Structure 1
Amino acid sequence: MHIVGTGLLGTSLGLALTRGGCVVTLEDTSPTAVRLAADMGAGTAADPHPDTGLVVVAAPPDVAADVIVAQLRALPDATVTDVASVKGVVLDRVRALTVGTELDRYIGSHPMAGRERSGAVSARVDLFEARPWVVCSDEATPAGRLDQVVAVAEAVGASVLHLEPEFHDSSVARVSHVPQVVSSLMAAQLTDMPVEGIALAGQGLRDVIRIAASDPGLWTQILAGNAAEVRAVLTALRDDLDRVVDALALETGSYAVLASAIAAGNEGHRRIPGKHGQAPMVYAIVTVVVGDEPGGLARLFTDVHALGVNVEDVRIDHATGHRLGSLDIMVLPDREQDLVVGLQQRGWRLPEHPEPDEAQATSTTVEDGSAG
């Protein structure tokens, strides 16, 4: 196996494959980058063996096609794939540059995995586990070469999806590329905001702008490479945004427009696959206050484990100005009460679930009318 490009994806792929016993050689235009990847254990900085069967090009989108063609000619028997986040523009250029049967040895692919940080230093051996890996092929793709690409994706724990390049690019515009733009634009609204106002930021804002820390250079290439699809989605989004802006004049019918916008978001949110790609599931949320101290989270999860309750997901929200935070533990609805009672008995503070004595006191106060 030969990997060309030792950034986040290339190095992560090398780490995962070498852990599984695969012999990997690494190549990059930057000597420092390839040495770093090799030092991290992603493979050996060396030219590919003449008998190399598969080359993975992990180069930036704007140069991926040229690197693919160069590898097709350097290793005339090898299958070449790439991990660029746009497929149509890469395939078009490879098709234009190749001759004879060279194109038959190229199969485009794209692992739907990444991080806000780039470079080999940010690589993770588990980056592709349980993530979709798109493979673009058609009826003319040689089965043996297709099997090579699929085997690599499965070897690093990914789930393979076979999609046409056009459908892939249209889909990622909505689930990846436009969300990046929206996140960046929202984060940019904070640049001139007084620090006292930013201190009010909660988990909602953090969720929206999490990916705004991404690499500007890389994302410029991605957006340019998928420009037509991204522009179409942004245009539709702009139309929806204009309707909301107009509705905020609060004229007749405005409230219906605002409610409709939020409701449409609810519907879209429900379509996102659930855990492990299963059908969406509504979980019960149990909020626990946790002090910001060594061992706090470990103790909480140990108690949850002792109660025999499976944690489906978690979310942490840090309190501003205090050394504590709240942890939302998501569990199956039929286990919510078991978790609530069990954690209360172990001394945990659950602000949305008062202790039985507190609940009784509150009820008595209301019935007496002393709360006003």
Structure 2
Amino acid sequence: MRTALVIGAGLMGTSAALALAGRGVTVHLRDHDPTRSRTAAALGAGTDEAPEGPVDLAIVAVPPAHVATTLATAMREGVARGYLDVASVKGGPRRELAALGADLSAYIGTHPMAGKERSGPLAGSADLFEGRPWVLTPTPETATEVLNLALELVALCRAVPVVMDADAHDRAVALVSHTPQLISSMVAARLEEADETAVRLCGQGIRDVTRIAASDPAMWVEILSANPGPVADVLTGIAADLAETVESLRALQSAEDGARRGGTAGIEDVLRRGNAGRVRVPGKHGTAPAAYEVVAVLIGDRPGELARIFADAGRAGVNVEDVRIEHATGQQAGLVQLMVEPSAAPVLAAALRERGWSIRQ
């Protein structure tokens, strides 16, 4: 691939353009808002000048509702040898494109499983897709050349290709992406009118659950509008679990021993099923999640403290598998939770104590 045209200079389009431009591909940028393509060009994502002739690959990075018409227009213009989109929904846009009479042999639907809470070209990053799954949804009609161009794009962005059926993809993202967004927003919405004393008690749990609730509502309305059925199906199951959980909690308020036992069993059931589901979430390097030991260290909010603690862990010969920071409310300090192999936890704790760190149980 020597040339590419990115249509849509938002987060996804700009990030793909930055990755391609950084690896020697000549990238042209187009957006319905010229200021966005100019901004992306100024960031080093390519040029906002139109290509002189057909490019190797056109990458359509627009909201799902506009994917088919944007692709059809680009195909009529003959701007590229191959065409793909990076929208988060795949089945609907492909059917719309077919209904518009487009040549589906020149097209492949794709979806990089990456993103941020922020949007727009200024949020773009050349490493956004690095190490992340990038779904490809070829059909028997997809030309080999187009599939190869898509695979080359994924490689240049240092992502991991995953081949799926388009409708299976839409059901999958309804479960692992779209529904979590709604649940996160629903939980965060409870905080809007909460008493200030309750909000001040927010810890890492509520921060984890509500992190993605900061996402752009307009963007998510477009995504959810393109995949409403599968998301509603997942939420129906969650609603049933929620109703049973509410009933179990009410039973725990009962004066009858039998009712309380039934309530306890109901709560335990949903928690155990949650444990079983959580175990299936891939861990480090895509493998099954490991049972790490946590070494919690009190750390001051000063420049260089994180670098120092990681350097001390390195000197102890311990590999930190994961890390989390829990900030202390109203204090210039927090807890750094270092996740390590269980056998390494005592070694790390002892080494850090030796170097003056305060270890918390």
**TM-score interval (norm. to shorter):** over 0.9
Alignment of 1:299-318 (within 5 A): 299-318=308-327
Q: What is the percentage of aligned positions where both structures have the same residue?
A: 43
Residue 136 (structure 2) aligns with: 135
Deviations 1:86-107 (A, max 9, x none): 00111110010024xx121110
Q: CA deviation at 1:114?
A: 0.1
State the shift of 1:77 in Å: 5.3
Q: Distance in 2 between the 1:2 and 1:14 partners? A: 9
Partner of residue 362, structure 1 = none
Q: Return the alpha-carbon distance in structure 2 between the equivalents of residues 224 and 189 of structure 1.
A: 24
Q: Distance in 1 between matches of 2:46 and 2:202?
A: 42
Query: What residue in structure 1 maps to residue 26 of structure 2?
Result: 23
Equivalent of residue 339 in structure 1, options 336, 348, 352: 348
Deviation (angstroms), 1:76: 6.3
Matched with 1:201 is 202
Q: Residues 115 and 128 of structure 2 are in contact (CA less than 8 Å); yes or no, is this contact kept in structure 1?
A: yes
Q: Counterpart of 1:235?
A: 236
| Cα distance in 2 between the residues matched to 1:14 and 1:53 | 14
Amino acid at match of 1:289: L
Q: Secondary structure at the match of 1:139?
A: coil
Q: Does 1:217 find its partner at 2:218?
A: yes
Name which of 238, 261, 267 aligns with 1:258.
267
Counterpart of 1:150 in structure 2 is 151
The residue number in structure 2 matching 1:66 is 69
Q: CA RMSD, aligned part only?
A: 1.0
> Match for residue 360 of structure 1?
none
Contact 2:104 2:142 in 1 (8 A): no
Counterpart of 2:289, as a letter, is P
Residues 144 and 343 (structure 1), Cα distance of their counterparts in 2 relative to 1, 3 Å cut: same
Q: What residue in structure 1 maps to residue 256 of structure 2? A: none
For each residue in 1:294-317, what CA deviation from the matched residue of structure 2 results, as whole angstroms up to 9, or x when unmatched? 111111111111112111110000
1:67 counterpart SS class = helix
Residue 44 of structure 1 aligns to a residue whose secondary structure is: coil
Is the counterpart of residue 35 in structure 1 residue 44 in structure 2? no
- Cα-to-partner distance string for 1:214-260 (whole Å, 9 max, x where unaligned): 01111001111000000000011000000000111123411000011
- Contact 1:65–1:90, Cα closer than 8 Å, also in 2: yes
Of 243, 258, 274 in structure 1, the residue corresponding to residue 283 of structure 2 is 274
Give the Å deviation of 1:154.
Answer: 1.2
**In the alignment, structure 1 residue 181 sits paired with structure 2 residue 182:** yes
Q: Quote how far apart the aligned CAs of 1:49 are.
A: 3.6
Structure 2 match to 1:329: 338
Q: Amino acid of the residue matched to residue 186 of structure 2?
A: L
Q: Secondary structure at the match of 1:201?
A: coil
Secondary structure of 2:53 counterpart:
coil
Residue 17 of structure 1, CA deviation: 0.9
Q: Do the aligned residues in 2 keep the contact of 1:72 with 1:78 (CA within 8 Å)?
A: no
Q: Distance in 1 between matches of 2:90 and 2:13?
A: 17
Deviation (angstroms), 1:186 = 0.5
Kindly tell me the number of residue pairs found equivalent between the two proteins: 350
* 8 Å contact from structure 1 (residues 26, 47) kept in 2: yes
Q: Distance in 2 between matches of 1:344 and 1:258?
A: 40
Give 1:59 shift. Answer: 0.5
Partner secondary structure for residue 168 of structure 1: helix
Query: CA offsets, 1:301-337, max 9 Å, x none?
Result: 1111111211111000000011100011111122111
Q: Distance in 2 between matches of 1:52 and 1:213?
A: 37
List, as ranges, runs of 4+ consecutive aligned residues in structure 1 with deviation greater than 3 Å.
none
1:48 aligns with 51
Aligned 8 A contact 2:27 2:47 in 1:
yes
> Per-residue displacement from partner, 1:84-136 (whole Å, max 9, x unpaired)?
0000111110010024xx12111000000000111111111110000000000
Question: Aligned letter for 1:87?
Answer: K
For 2:38, the aligned partner's letter is R
Which of 282, 292, 307 is residue 283 of structure 1 equivalent to? 292
1:280 counterpart SS class: coil
Instruction: Tell me which amino acid in the other structure corresponds to 2:33.
Output: S
Higher Rg of the two aligned structures: 1
Q: Does 1:293 align with 2:302?
A: yes
Report the alpha carbon displacement of residue 280 of structure 1 after superposing the two structures with TM: 1.9
| 2: CA distance, partners of 1:157 / 1:219 | 26
For 1:187, what is the secondary structure of its paired residue?
helix
1:86 aligns with 89
SS of 2:193's equivalent in the other structure is: coil
* 3-state SS of 2:65 partner: helix
Q: CA deviation at 1:191?
A: 0.5
Q: State the match for 2:13 in structure 1.
A: 10
Q: Which amino acid in 2 is paired with 1:144? A: E
